[in-house]
Amino acid sequence: MSPLIFEPGRIENPAQQDISMRVLIAEDDPVSCLLLESFLTKWDYQAVLATDGAEAWKILQQEDAPNLAILDWMMPFMNGPQICRELRCRPSRQYAYIILLTGQAQKEDVIEGLEAGADDYLVKPFDKYELKARLRAGARIVKLQQKLLAAQETLREQATHDWLTGAFNRAAILDILQRELARRERENGLLCAIMVDIDHFKSINDTHGHLVGDAVLREVISRVGANIRAYDSIGRYGGEEFLIVAPDCNSITAASLAERLRACIANDPFELGECLIPVTISLGVAICEERTTADSLLRQADDALYRAKHEGRNRVSVMADIGAPVYSPLSQAAG
């Protein structure tokens, strides 16, 4: 890949900074549409064409809609201000910057267009250099909004995820558990909570150091995350303990899932630098088949985990709603 070279005094074109900068041209006059398209192509924008208001509105509702739009005021089916009003009423994370093209230069017409939701306007016949400058201003605003969204997503990620392992943090995984419990009650389904603990983790830290211990935590999460289902969730509950929230699991499927997770850790020693470290986990499984609270389900999963560790570690223990242990053959074989 060629390095980026920044030349002193060079002015960057906003469109060139992002090759995905697309501009919708909504213009029912073929000559005007062709002229606008030629300008935008010359300025390194990607033009998306619409020949009437209905087509323009359809494009702007798409998931990958252009973030810049040039709309003619008068078009068949929907005019420019109508599209602006509809667009601003629709919730969307991505902002569309709209420039209205109008032959009406009266102040009240301009005010009407801006109040409808347009960001800018040009009076026909327009100067192409003025259009270029206004597009650049729009591109800057779109890019600033994209940076803001990216910053918000970063903050959301930091607020909900464990910084070391990348799994959900304790607050987030407990919130997921509460939401899944509420969904289970609405749909009368099943829900499984699996408490996972790394066996003899203190010994790993004492023998190999905390940096290796951190690497073990990350690798455990990586392996477990690769072996749970797409709609399961895993979070760091505390220290070397993790909580998995698995919807639609009965005691058999939950035991099978937990055993698969146990095996993916125990069957392959962790290769960390020059160290080859055998690691095992113990898992306590609680099945929610009737109405219960998050605290009750967690307590059952914790009791099952304690039983698994008491029985020798590197195994799975499953508890049903009534609190009685239910051992699967897989769990017994693990010991």
Q: Which residues are catalytic?
A: 240
Task: Name the residue among 292, 258, 286 with its Cα closest to residue 184.
Answer: 292
Sheet containing 68-72, strands listed edge to edge, beginning at the edge strand earlier in sequence: 46-50, 22-26, 68-72, 97-102, 120-123
Q: How many CA atoms lie within 13 A of 257 on its CB side?
A: 31
DSSP state of 4: P
What burial letters (b/e) apply to 71-94, b meaning 16+ CB within 10 Å?
bbbebeebbbbbbbebbeeeeeee
Alpha helices in 51-190, H assignment, sequence order: 53-60, 80-89, 107-116, 128-160, 170-187
User: For residue 217, what is the enclosing H or E element?
Assistant: helix 210-227
Residue 329: count of CB within 10 angstroms of its CB? 9
For residue 196, the cross-strand partners are 242, 283
d(CA 253, CA 65): 42
d(CA 109, CA 106): 5
Mode of pairing for the β-strands spanning 316-319 and 281-288: parallel
Place of tokens 């919708």: 24
Residue 218: count of CB within 10 angstroms of its CB? 16
Task: Name the residue among 61, 15, 18, 81 with its Cα closest to residue 42.
Answer: 15
Place of tokens 């009423």: 89
Mode of pairing for the β-strands spanning 68-72 and 241-247: unpaired
d(CA 153, CA 137): 25
